[in-house]
């Protein structure tokens, strides 16, 4: 084999290693541990970014922020955030300064935060199709920033999925009760109280498989 061919193959092999290594680096757990702002499971946190943007981080969330002369960028590593861009914060005389756009990056792409409020989520299993076009947020979408969830004819499986993000331990919903419809305003930051309320209100029961694994199932389910 010629020297030139060996060098070319060597360069290609380095590229083959470097590309997945870079992709994996963006998903390593230590990226969230060293983030500028992060929350533990069940915790909500309000923060003021360097440029004055106000954000709230949801449970088990992490975000890095970087600001330059012509760009403001937040990198949502995990979880969810909702905020109010600086461009929407009026000064004492009611004027607005011109600021570069605020870009929020996730593993699937980049979203430009615009309007009076923005909300972005980064969860396992999201695809690029999961990034929606900017839209006016329904006030109910912002209730999680106060530790509440407004369920309106919601599948209990979907409600349990939301609660699981705030719950210490594993929380799952059994298939035999997954399509049960529930309504109400529920606490996210006190999942034990919410689960107890659901058990009193609907034909479900909570089964502790282990001290850290809870299953929501139909009240007449046969135990395995």
CB 106 within 8 A of CB 131: yes
CB 191 within 8 A of CB 161: no
Instruction: Tell me, yes or no, whether 55 and 103 share the same domain.
Output: yes
Q: pTM of the entire structure? A: 0.71
| Domain-ending residue, one of 108, 138, 168 | 138
Instruction: Tell me, yes or no, whether 197 and 124 share the same domain.
Output: no
- List pLDDT tens digits, range 10-25: 333 333 333 343 434 4
Instruction: Tell me, yes or no, whether 37 and 116 share the same domain.
Output: yes
Establish if 34 belongs to a structural domain.
Answer: yes
Instruction: Tell me, yes or no, whether 154 and 186 share the same domain.
Output: yes
Establish if 13 belongs to a structural domain.
Answer: no
The residue segments making up the domain with residue 198 are 147-218
Instruction: Tell me, yes or no, whether 80 and 170 share the same domain.
Output: no
| Domain-ending residue, one of 138, 167, 196 | 138
Instruction: Quote the Cα angle for 45-50-52, to 5°.
Output: 80
Residue 76 has pLDDT above 70, yes or no: yes
Instruction: Tell me, yes or no, whether 129 and 35 share the same domain.
Output: yes
- List pLDDT tens digits, range 147-190: 999 999 999 999 999 999 999 999 999 999 999 999 999 999 99
Classify residue 86 by its DSSP letter.
G
Instruction: Tell me how many domains the chain contains.
Output: 2
Instruction: Tell me, yes or no, whether 115 and 182 share the same domain.
Output: no
């Amino acid at each position: 084999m010629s020297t030139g061919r060996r060098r070319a193959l060597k360069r290609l092999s380095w590229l083959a290693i470097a590309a997945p290594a870079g992709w994996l680096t963006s998903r390593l757990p230590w990226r969230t541990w060293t983030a500028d702002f992060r929350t533990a499971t069940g915790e909500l946190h309000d923060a003021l970014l360097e440029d004055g943007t106000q954000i709230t981080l949801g449970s088990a969330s992490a975000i890095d922020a970087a600001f330059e002369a012509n760009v403001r960028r937040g990198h949502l590593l995990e979880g969810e955030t909702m905020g109010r861009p600086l461009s929407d914060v009026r000064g004492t005389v009611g004027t607005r300064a011109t600021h570069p756009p605020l870009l929020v990056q996730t593993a699937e792409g980049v979203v430009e935060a615009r309007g009076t409020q923005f909300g972005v989520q980064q969860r396992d299993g999201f695809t690029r199709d999961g990034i929606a076009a900017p839209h006016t947020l329904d006030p109910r979408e912002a209730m999680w920033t106060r530790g509440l969830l407004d369920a309106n004819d919601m599948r209990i499986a979907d409600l349990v999925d939301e609660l699981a993000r705030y719950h210490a331990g594993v929380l799952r919903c059994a298939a035999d009760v997954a399509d049960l419809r529930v309504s109400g305003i529920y606490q996210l930051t006190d999942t034990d109280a919410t689960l107890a309320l659901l058990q009193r209100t609907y034909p479900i029961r909570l089964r502790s498989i282990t001290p850290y694994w809870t299953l929501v199932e139909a009240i007449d389910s046969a135990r395995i």
